[in-house]
Amino acid sequence: MKLLEGKRGLVFGVANERSIAWHIARNAAEHGATCGFPYLPGEKMERRVAKALADGGFAEPWLRACDVSNDADLDRLFASFAADFGTLDFVVHSVAYADREYLQPGTFVDTPRAAFAEALDISAYSLVAVAQRAKPLMKSGGSILALSYYGAEKAAPGYNVMGVAKSALESCVRYLAADLGALGIRVNSLSAGPCRTLSAMAVGGFDQILDKVAESAPLRRNIETDEVGRAAVYLLSDLSSGVTGETHHVDAGYNAIVT
Ligand code: NAD
């Protein structure tokens, strides 16, 4: 059974074939969805994203450059999507950024104001900016999904300002869910266990985090990124029609236990 047949969505955050967004898009497409792909502006990035999508089976993908910290980029993106597709059914927000200089264990206390503001703007506020523009296009309701991590709930070594941004992101999910629920628009986050991606490599001590999960998570292993993609299909589809404002963990159970 195809769970997203006829649905149209925007998937933010494909950088390469390791990206969580890539795995979500592949699973969404397998379930019949049509996806558009905003990517961080830059020729190198455009080539990389186009190749990753081609390798993922997306022939002639709908690609638009969009820096989520730039309102004009976001306005252009949503106007272009509206012109080409009319309506929007789902959005995947799989985007985050913090200066890696401040993602080393034991250095959160040294975070400068500018690095804090930048991380919160790109990684948390951007969800609000995206939801504002998605709202008028989601004429028959919709689903907005953000990607979070356990470092939103507990201080995780090296995650630092990104943990603060993820706490804000999860809170934005709840407030957006409260505002948009009456329109049938659901907003959730998926808290993924550690996956080897470009962004994850910026977090100091990432390999130790993977080792710790493998040894102590209830499932005694790390997750596969594809497992995030499959759970995302549930949250994007009508299977989760009664779920909003939720943070759903796909982390081999790591958050459920004391380590
Ligand atoms: P990734 O590097 O593949 O994806 C991050 C994406 O963010 C990239 O495509 C990058 O181009 C984009 N981006 C950064 N700044 C941007 C901007 N200003 N405008 C537009 N796009 C921008 O890494 P990923 O691990 O797939 O990350 C995706 C999401 O998943 C992030 O929110 C991340 O925090 C979250 N997450 C990752 C893990 C993990 O272990 N990899 C775990 C939990 C949550």
DSSP H or E segment with residue 117 = helix 113-120
Q: How confident is the model at residue 115 (pLDDT cuts 50, 70, 90)?
A: very high
Tell whether 197 is covered by a domain.
Answer: yes
* Gap from CA of 97 to ligand 1 centroid (Å): 7
The response to whether residue 50 sits with its C-beta less than 6 Å from ligand 1 reads no
For a mutational test of ligand 1's pocket, the pick from 22, 44, 127, 199, i.e. the residue with the most ligand atoms closer than 8 A to its C-beta, is 199
Q: Which has the higher per-residue pLDDT, 203 or 234?
A: 234
Indicate if the pLDDT at residue 1 is higher than 90.
no
Strands 90-93 and 62-65: unpaired
- State pLDDT tens for residues 27-60: 999 999 999 999 999 999 999 999 999 999 999 9
Tell whether 1 is covered by a domain.
Answer: no
The response to whether residue 78 sits with its C-beta less than 6 Å from ligand 1 reads no
The response to whether residue 67 sits with its C-beta less than 6 Å from ligand 1 reads yes
The response to whether residue 74 sits with its C-beta less than 6 Å from ligand 1 reads no
Strands 62-65 and 247-250: unpaired
- State pLDDT tens for residues 56-86: 999 999 999 999 999 999 999 999 999 999 9
% of residues, the chain, pLDDT over 90: 97
Tell whether 53 is covered by a domain.
Answer: yes
Tell whether 216 is covered by a domain.
Answer: yes
Whichever domain contains 207, its CATH number is 3.40.50.720
pLDDT value for 154:
97
Distance of CA 208 to the CA centre of its chain: 23
What is the count of structural domains for the chain? Answer: 1
Please name the residue that has the structure tokens 């957006």. 176
Question: Which residues constitute the domain of residue 235?
Answer: 8-256
Tell whether 3 is covered by a domain.
Answer: no
